Amino acid sequence: MDMDEKSIRALLAAVKDGVLDLDSAMERLRRLPCEDMGFACVDHHRFLRTGMPEVVFGEGKSAGQIVAIMKSLAAEGTVALATRVDAEKAETVLAGLDGAVYHADARIVQVNGGGEPASDSGVVLVAAAGTSDLPVAEEAAVTARAFGCRVETVYDVGVAGVHRLLSRRRELERAAVVIAVAGMEGALPGVIAGLVEAPVIAVPTSVGYGSGAGGFAALLSMLNSCAPGMAVVNIDNGFGAASMAAAVMRAAARLAGTELATEMPR
């Protein structure tokens, strides 16, 4: 992989010779070029800039393209994920990637594991209204774990039987961040936001009948919630919710003088 070794060596030499200070060198490293593969430009330095590695959106890509990109990402030693990979495509991808695993419910291919979270780190709780919401909820859970978060799940706790949600009050109250996934009218996140002090990330799903308009009804309901402390991501975007949760956890850990995970995700 061409990492522009000549430029990196020159940069390191400048630091060694005292011509360039460390902060300036780090700023330049954050802008190193990506790897041009012709059909994709792989960003190997996203973790350095943002704390999260580049992730492959598998939908619309061929199995061969996914394999090539993930091999490149995994070679860096960080966790490599491909989302929205159906089971048929995953078979071909797994055959081309050593050590890869397929999370079928989440539709995610993963190479390398996430860093072990610190034992005292907070919990990201993924709550799903119904069983039909599980693909999106599992996408969020698998992604958050890969990004170094401690994750717990409570599923099938929708408002049609609110006693099911209230019976999990203890898990809700100890969560540092809650990802609430719901289709239909999308009421679950607002109810949770009215019960807990943790930030709630709402994920509308495309689950529902015709008037649900493919998740727009749930999206609008969540956007218009009167419960404070709640943010909303796009329809079916479990990955986006997990990324935001990891960012919140990382910021909290930084303020507390600790690290989100014991090591960079690998």
Q: Which of 113, 112, 64, 106 is nearest to 85 (CA)?
A: 106
Q: Say if CB 74 and CB 80 are below 8 A apart.
A: yes
- Distance CA(37)–CA(16), nearest Å, equals 32
Distances (CA, A) of 138 to 11, 56, 57, 242: 42, 17, 16, 10
**Pairing of β 41-42 and β 35-36:** antiparallel
- Tens digit of each residue's pLDDT (9 = 90 or more) over 126-182: 999 999 999 999 999 999 999 989 999 999 999 999 999 999 999 999 999 999 999
Amino acid sitting at position 131? T
Give the E-state strand segments of 63-182 in sequence order: 80-83, 101-103, 108-111, 123-128, 150-155, 175-182
- Best CA proximity match to 140, nearest among 66, 240, 234: 240
Cα–Cα separations (whole angstroms), residue 47 to 1, 42, 160, 264: 17, 12, 41, 9
Residues of the chain with pLDDT under 70: 1-7, 30-33, 48, 76, 114-120, 258-266
Predicted confidence at residue 156, as pLDDT, reads 94
pLDDT in the model for residue 105: 96
* Cα 43–Cα 45–Cα 47 angle in degrees, nearest 5: 110
Nearest-CA neighbor of 107 among 58, 41, 163, 153?
58
> How much is the pLDDT for 167?
92
* Packed helices 87-96 and 63-74: angle between N→C axes, nearest 10 degrees: 50
CATH level 3 topology of 123-255: Rossmann fold (3.40.50)
* pLDDT value of residue 259: 57
Domain-by-domain residue ranges, the chain? 33-111, 123-255
Q: Helix, strand, or coil here: 64? A: helix
Question: What H or E segment, with its residue span, contains residue 204?
Answer: strand 200-204
What pLDDT does residue 53 have? 81
The pLDDT value recorded for residue 260 is 53
Give dist(CA 6, CA 24) in Å, integer.
18
